[in-house]
Chain A
Amino acid sequence: MKTNDVIFQTVAKVVFFMIIFFAVHLFFAGHYYPGGGFVGGLLTSGALVLLLLAFDMKTVQRGFPVDFKWLIGIGLLFSIGTAAGSLLFNVPFFTHAYNYFQLPLFGKTSLHTAMLFDLGVYLVVIGVTMTIIQTIGESE
């Protein structure tokens, strides 16, 4: 079955970037405004799913030559690593730390270890969603 979906594909290309940027925004905004790693990750995978629907598995694979199973592992490593990292500073497992820094361009910014943990969540969520969808989509 060959369908002509030029409009869908063209729109998807543009919308994809909008969604991704929004997702990244959500991820970074997390600590102060609605958002966070979980939603950010889901939205990112949503964008990828949109591309999958508009094009096909192979095209998306070519655009993003990422093995999403690896993302799961990397994400878990980030999350557990952040949690375990506190042990190195002789504080209980999973103690977060934060401080405020004066950064160029951003001005006064808070840097937070929770961000690293959230990055792990973000990656795991993308990895998990995409692994499941790809596997089911690929199977005969």
Chain B
Amino acid sequence: MSLLHWAILAPFLMTLFVPFIHKRASVIHTGWFVLILPIVLFAVFLQYLPVTRMNSSITQTVAWIPSLDINFTAYIDGLSLLFALLITGIGALVVLYSVFYLSKTKEKLGHFYVYLLMFMGAMLGVVLSDNVITLYMFWEFTSISSFLLIAYWYDRERSRYGALKSMLITVFGGLMMLGGFLVLSLMGDTFSIRELAAQALELNEDPLFLLAMVLVLLGAFTKSAQFPFYIWLPDAMEAPTPVSAYLHSATMVKAGIYLVARFSPIFALSGYWFWIVGAVGLFTMTWASFNAVKQTDLKGILAFSTVSQLGLIMSLLGVGAASLHVETLDDHLYTAAIIAAVFHLINHATFKGSLFMVVGIIDHETGTRDIRKLGGLMSLMPVTFTLSVIGAFSMAGLPPFNGFLSKEMFFASMVHLLELDLFQMDTWAILFPVMAWIGSVFTFLYSMMIVFKVFTGRFQPEKLEKKPHEAPIGMLVSPIILALLVVVFGLFPNLLSYSLIQPAAAAIVPAILPPGGQLDVHISFWHGFKPELFMTIGVIVIGILLYKLMPKWIKIYDYMPGKVTLNQFYNASLYAAERGSNAITNAYMTGFIRSYLVYIFTFFIALLGFTMWAKGAFHYDASSAASIGLYEAGLVVVLAISIVTILLAKSRLTSIIALGAVGYTVSLFFVVFRAPDLALTQLVIETVSTALFLLCFYHLPALSRHNEKRRFQAGNALVAAGVGVIVTLIGISAHSSKFFPSINEYYIENTYKKAGGENMVNVILVDFRGFDTLFEITVLSVAALGIYGLIKLRIGKGGETNENQ
């Protein structure tokens, strides 16, 4: 276990202590204790900066399931480190913010921080794992913790709906991704991402390559909320705002981006990759920004904006794949796309994180997030206003903030595609800059809405639940730090150039690195009068125009079809799945145990009978059979009489007693065959179960055999006879055919020698086959508790619910 492993596991270990801390030290907000961990981890990861700066990496392996080649391999390079710093850095700020956001007395803080830490550890695991199976495991952990956090206020119906939706969609994607990983590992015969990347050229020739790529991309697109899977993210906004800031904007939704970046060395050579990632990303960006404008909930706007920005980063990663194909000196044009993606990733985490926290503050201080109710808060909340201006202007791509720089680089990358004569780009290239531009106009529009609809205009105190005032300083610290970063990265982008951006970008496109060399990262405000500058100016001019004219054209959203949306599709298919499985289940679950017995036994007859017939397994050989004595014959007669009595009995009591007689007769057989252990056990079991039957008998309705139809009885008789015949045939065959020597010699020899016992049956039970006994008593225990639960905890009709409280 190296330091890296401990860093991944530390949050998980911390979760063990949180409930105790929460219970013992409830005077102090639990968040203060939790806060220590991300800060320490952030400091730990900072120490890796000098390593990754030189484009080198560290690998540490702990054997986990070595027989299956599954190891817990921690791998840190520029890309992993960037994400690890984001996860722990933003994590620390979010925890700090949550201390002031979540009330110490009203909320279940123990749960909250356990889930949050679980997420932090899982996310670190995702970005630091080299083994795809380990990566997948942590990946699903993030889905589960996201589910738990969205449903944190689980008494709200919308929270549960959102949690389920995110879970279903992301876990679906996760399973697809697992399929992709397995296909990849079959092709490359390894689970290690680095080893797979080393074989990228051979993998590209493989017929399964495209399948693996599509499956892995499904995982990435569902997690990063790309079209058409983005529908879970707006509903995930039911989570507490710190969670939205952390999981659903800064880190978890970027896991898909990470996956695409991490697998770029394997897949990026393919033209499909360029098209799928680039086009899906760009379309998502435009579509989501267009939809963001019609939202009225501030968090709804931010959710769609996050989808849109993730699309932007995704498209840059797709487009950047072109750099692998261009051998000219100009190829930094396309690596610029990768650099822009990494840069924008950092910028998005800063400005979107601060915006989410600002929205949380507005929600906290006014009691609403509806922009129709808000307005004129500028003078009441000056600090919050300033923060939102910085965040939103950066998001809109305005100078001098960091969003401007990465937005310009984005435009530049899209424009450069016009010069690309690859992948049929000559006909379609123009669509890329056009869509990028349209998406940016709407981005500008909703960014302005966040600032001006909330902080300017008419103040409407009558619509607010609380009297608004500035937030407490503790709540402002985190967004202030993020906003400062927005400004600092905007003014001095080259602080990041070679420390974080270059190593991360180099990890995405290692193929074009000269040996020991570095990528050329050049970020500046002024590029001269290039197309991207005019595009930005166009965005601002058209954006302002559209904002002013908004009341005139906003109605076009009403013309959008309400019935055929993706959400409707999701709801309808969920409903259909539930209805369908209900219908299928109800078709055969009649509620009568006798029907189930008929199913089971019919299947039993069919399966065993068919096998016996198909394999010609029946065999009769009476040579080793013992002769039938007087005792045996007598017992058989008693047995037969008892069974016939059960069938003909008029009352249940008679049946039960006759059934007991059957059991006792069987135990007498054991006596005759000199098996005292079996005889003893059978006797006692018969006694106890007869007592049990009598107890149940008390609860059952009177026997009413005459009501049953002939056909029903005949069917039952047929099934019963069938089972009898099959079992008899199997018994005879088993006795007649000896394919291998009996194991009894082994037991006879070893019972005393190895187990120190003389009663072979008992030694087998507790020693030789102790596992059987162990599982048997476990099953028995589960059954007993099940019966207890079924009878004692009957849920009465009209149980209490605490819906939406």
Contact residues of A with B, CB < 8 Å? 26, 29-39, 42-43, 45-46, 49, 52-53, 69, 72-73, 75-76, 79-80, 83, 94, 96, 98, 110, 112, 114, 117-118, 120-121, 124-125, 127-129, 131-133, 135-137, 139
Across-interface contacts of B541 in A (CB, < 8 A): none
What are 18 A-B residue pairs whose CB atoms fall within 8 Å in the complex?
Answer: A34-B759, A36-B759, A38-B681, A38-B765, A49-B688, A69-B784, A76-B777, A94-B770, A98-B756, A114-B767, A118-B762, A121-B777, A124-B781, A133-B691, A133-B692, A135-B787, A136-B696, A136-B787
Across-interface contacts of A135 in B (CB, < 8 A): 787-788, 791-792
Closest to B779 in A: A128
Instruction: Tell me whether A83 and B770 are in contact (CB under 8 A).
Output: yes
Across-interface contacts of A35 in B (CB, < 8 A): 677, 680, 759, 762
Across-interface contacts of A42 in B (CB, < 8 A): 681, 684-685, 688
Report which of B681, B695, B766, B788 forms a contact with A137, defined as CB distance below 8 A: B695
Question: What's the nearest-Cβ distance from chain A to residue B595, in Å?
Answer: 23
Report which of A29, A46, A98, A131 forms a contact with B784, defined as CB distance below 8 A: A131
B771 part of interface (Cβ distance < 8 Å): yes
Do A128 and B781 contact each other (CB < 8 Å), given the known contacts A26-B680, A117-B770? yes
Instruction: Tell me whether B773 and A121 are in contact (CB under 8 A).
Output: yes
Across-interface contacts of B699 in A (CB, < 8 A): 136, 139
Across-interface contacts of A96 in B (CB, < 8 A): 755, 766-767, 770
Question: What's the nearest-Cβ distance from chain B to residue A8, in Å?
Answer: 14
Tally of A-B Cβ pairs under 8 angstroms: 143
Do A132 and B770 contact each other (CB < 8 Å), given the known contacts A32-B757, A98-B756? no
Instruction: Tell me whether B755 and A83 are in contact (CB under 8 A).
Output: no
Instruction: Tell me whether A39 and B684 are in contact (CB under 8 A).
Output: yes
Bound: A104/B766 CA distance, A: 27
Across-interface contacts of B766 in A (CB, < 8 A): 30-31, 36-37, 96, 114, 117-118, 121
Residues of B within 8 A of A (CB-CB), count: 39
B774 part of interface (Cβ distance < 8 Å): yes
Closest to A139 in B: B791
Bound: A114/B717 CA distance, A: 46
Instruction: Tell me whether B758 and A132 are in contact (CB under 8 A).
Output: no
Instruction: Tell me whether B684 and A30 are in contact (CB under 8 A).
Output: no
Interface majority SS on B: helix, strand, loop or mixed?
A: helix
Across-interface contacts of B763 in A (CB, < 8 A): 31, 114
Closest to B789 in A: A135
Report which of A26, A29, A37, A72 forms a contact with B781, defined as CB distance below 8 A: A72
Question: What's the nearest-Cβ distance from chain B to residue A12, in Å?
Answer: 13
B687 part of interface (Cβ distance < 8 Å): yes
Q: A34-B680, A39-B684 are in contact. List 9 more A-B contacts (CB 8 A).
A: A31-B763, A32-B759, A34-B676, A72-B781, A112-B756, A117-B766, A131-B787, A133-B695, A135-B787
B780 part of interface (Cβ distance < 8 Å): yes
Across-interface contacts of A120 in B (CB, < 8 A): 777
Bound: A75/B699 CA distance, A: 30
Instruction: Tell me whether A80 and B757 are in contact (CB under 8 A).
Output: no
Bound: A114/B684 CA distance, A: 23
Instruction: Tell me whether B757 and A114 are in contact (CB under 8 A).
Output: yes
B783 part of interface (Cβ distance < 8 Å): yes
Question: What's the nearest-Cβ distance from chain A to residue B677, in Å?
Answer: 5
Across-interface contacts of B755 in A (CB, < 8 A): 96, 98, 114
Instruction: Tell me whether A36 and B677 are in contact (CB under 8 A).
Output: yes
Across-interface contacts of A36 in B (CB, < 8 A): 677, 759, 761-762, 765-766
Across-interface contacts of A73 in B (CB, < 8 A): 781
Do A43 and B781 contact each other (CB < 8 Å), given the known contacts A30-B762, A31-B758, A133-B695? no
Bound: A71/B430 CA distance, A: 76
Bound: A126/B658 CA distance, A: 26
Instruction: Tell me whether B695 and A39 are in contact (CB under 8 A).
Output: no
Instruction: Tell me whether A34 and B677 are in contact (CB under 8 A).
Output: yes
Instruction: Tell me whether A124 and B767 are in contact (CB under 8 A).
Output: no
Instruction: Tell me whether A110 and B756 are in contact (CB under 8 A).
Output: yes
Bound: A51/B689 CA distance, A: 15
Closest to B685 in A: A42
Bound: A125/B445 CA distance, A: 71
Instruction: Tell me whether B792 and A129 are in contact (CB under 8 A).
Output: no
Question: What's the nearest-Cβ distance from chain A to residue B325, in Å?
Answer: 56
Across-interface contacts of B778 in A (CB, < 8 A): 76
Do A132 and B681 contact each other (CB < 8 Å), given the known contacts A30-B759, A31-B762, A124-B781? no
Bound: A121/B676 CA distance, A: 19
B496 part of interface (Cβ distance < 8 Å): no
Central interface residue in B777, B781, B784, by most chain A CB within 10 Å = B777
Closest to B777 in A: A124
Report which of A112, A129, A131 forms a contact with B788, defined as CB distance below 8 A: A131
B785 part of interface (Cβ distance < 8 Å): yes
Instruction: Tell me whether A46 and B788 are in contact (CB under 8 A).
Output: no
The 10 A-B residue pairs whose C-beta atoms are closest, nearest first, are A31-B757, A34-B676, A128-B784, A98-B756, A42-B684, A36-B762, A124-B777, A32-B758, A114-B766, A131-B784
Across-interface contacts of B757 in A (CB, < 8 A): 31-32, 112, 114
Instruction: Tell me whether B756 and A128 are in contact (CB under 8 A).
Output: no
Closest to A79 in B: B774
Bound: A57/B685 CA distance, A: 21
In the complex, chain B residues 677-707 whose Cβ is within 8 Å of any chain A Cβ? 677, 680-681, 684-685, 687-688, 691-692, 695-696, 699
Across-interface contacts of B770 in A (CB, < 8 A): 83, 94, 96, 114, 117
Report which of B687, B767, B777 forms a contact with A79, defined as CB distance below 8 A: B777
